[in-house]
Amino acid sequence: MKVTVVGTGNAGCAHSFKIARAGHEVRMLEPFPGIYRENFKAIHENGGIWAEEAGERTFQEISFITSDPAQAIEGCDAVMVVTQSLQHERLSSILKPLIGEVKLLIVSPGYMGSLFFKGPGTGNVIFAEGESMPYDARLKENGVVQILFKNSRNALSFHPVERQDEGLEIAGKLVDTYRFKRRHVIESAMHNPNLIVHTIGAIMSAARIEYSKGEFWMYREAFTPSIWNLVERLDGEKMDILEKAGCRRTSYLETCRFRTEENLEKDPMEVFRSYADKGSPKGPGEVNHRYIYEDVPMGLCLMGSLGRKFGVKTPVCDSLVEIASALLKKDFRKESRTLETLGMGGVPAPDMVSLVES
């Protein structure tokens, strides 16, 4: 297939490399170079991506790398949007006029951001939303991505829901771990692991992050027994929302095991600790990090909005938003993603599920 990957950060480089290596024609689009300007320049000059995996460095040519959306989208079969969720709304205004002939558009991780991309002229597109990327990766240097591991399973939600089997078949041709479906985008959004562990891990470790001056391993250090009590409270609020949205009450630990572990009989806490000890990356190196400035307004604020819609109390979620705002002297509620910013503020709770499935 002809595939356009939107974003040239960690996820964009890793998935472009892997999808091209699998034999697809990959185009990389970076409409807002921003913090990845030098990386974009490097892969553009190289004509492809260097990847380090299992101690080996290999090169993969990419069909073309561009900042021109029309050039990147024309004639493509599938689009994968893997930018930070902060860019979804802005990006959707650029891509919506161009995607009418695209078969599948995946937004991952989504936080319900796939809803921004629907609109006039996109009636034949199947929209999909992921909760986590198939490959975990970090840019090692400009033009070089380090691929840390591949998930065992990845789930997607689709709209319109009646075309989910068709959408999953296409997605599975891109990455073979796309084999599972969520009921709708609310379920995918609430199962984004960053909603739980990025926010609590970074917010509650602010002093340690600043004191360590870069020598901090969040997954290894942050989740002590008392902090895990907080994780369970926030996770409980999330599951209350899932239940109201017609979904199974599934914990963070269960979804972590589902994604990352082949053996589904293994103790889920053991799976988490194994990732923390062996697979997790170093960092964050500063408090003003995407674990807070992205996952608080896009994740926690969305969760609070869903709670209010479904009549679910979210005191831990709301408190974390206030603490994060105080830490960074920034009102995250003013730039947050909510049902209102998604154009769904006036939708009655009983109609919410049918609307996101349409």
Question: 117 and 19: one domain?
Answer: yes
Question: 46 and 152: one domain?
Answer: yes
* Backbone phi, psi, residue 115, to 5°: -65, -25
3-state secondary structure of 286: coil
Q: Residue 120: what pLDDT?
A: 87
In a domain, 334, yes or no: yes
In a domain, 214, yes or no: yes
> Are the CB atoms for 274 and 291 separated by under 8 Å?
no
254/212 Cα distance (integer angstroms): 31
Q: Residue 279: what pLDDT?
A: 80
The residue from 138, 160, 186 where one domain ends is 186
Tokens describing residue 222? 């942050």
- Pairing label, strands 56-61, 48-53: antiparallel
* Chain segment 101-111, per-residue pLDDT in tens: 999 999 999 99
In a domain, 106, yes or no: yes
Q: Residue 278: what pLDDT?
A: 84
> Are the CB atoms for 281 and 148 separated by under 8 Å?
yes
Question: 242 and 179: one domain?
Answer: no
Tokens describing residue 339? 């049902």
291/313 Cα distance (integer angstroms): 23
In a domain, 357, yes or no: no
Question: 149 and 254: one domain?
Answer: no
The residue from 169, 186, 203 where one domain ends is 186
Give the chain's radius of gyration (CA, Å). Answer: 19
Question: 232 and 84: one domain?
Answer: no
Question: 228 and 328: one domain?
Answer: yes
* Chain segment 8-66, per-residue pLDDT in tens: 999 999 999 999 999 999 999 998 877 789 999 999 999 999 999 988 999 999 999 99
Question: Domain range for residue 328?
Answer: 193-343
The residue from 139, 163, 186 where one domain ends is 186
Question: 200 and 315: one domain?
Answer: yes
74/100 Cα distance (integer angstroms): 10
95/108 Cα distance (integer angstroms): 16
User: The domain spanning residue 76 has which CATH number?
Assistant: 3.40.50.720
Q: Is the pLDDT of residue 182 over 80?
A: yes
Burial class (CB in 10 A: 0-12, 13-18, 19+), 41: middle
Question: 176 and 30: one domain?
Answer: yes
In a domain, 55, yes or no: yes
* Chain segment 322-340, per-residue pLDDT in tens: 999 999 999 999 999 999 9
Q: Residue 176: what pLDDT?
A: 97
Question: 308 and 181: one domain?
Answer: no
User: The domain spanning residue 244 has which CATH number?
Assistant: 1.10.1040.10
Which amino acid belongs to residue 357?
A: E
In a domain, 353, yes or no: no
* Chain segment 194-240, per-residue pLDDT in tens: 999 999 999 999 999 999 999 999 999 999 999 999 999 999 999 99
Across the chain, mean pLDDT equals: 96
Q: How many helices (H) and strands (E) does the chain have?
A: 16, 12
304/306 Cα distance (integer angstroms): 5
Domain tally for the chain?
2
Question: 155 and 197: one domain?
Answer: no
Q: Residue 123: what pLDDT?
A: 81
Mean pLDDT of 288-302: 98
Q: Residue 65: what pLDDT?
A: 96
Question: 217 and 314: one domain?
Answer: yes
In a domain, 218, yes or no: yes
Question: Closest Cα partner for 125 from 134, 117, 133?
Answer: 117
Mean pLDDT of 284-305: 98
Mean pLDDT of 178-186: 98
Q: Residue 241: what pLDDT?
A: 98
Question: 173 and 247: one domain?
Answer: no
Angle at 185 between CA 180 and CA 187, to 5 degrees: 70
Mean pLDDT of 138-161: 96
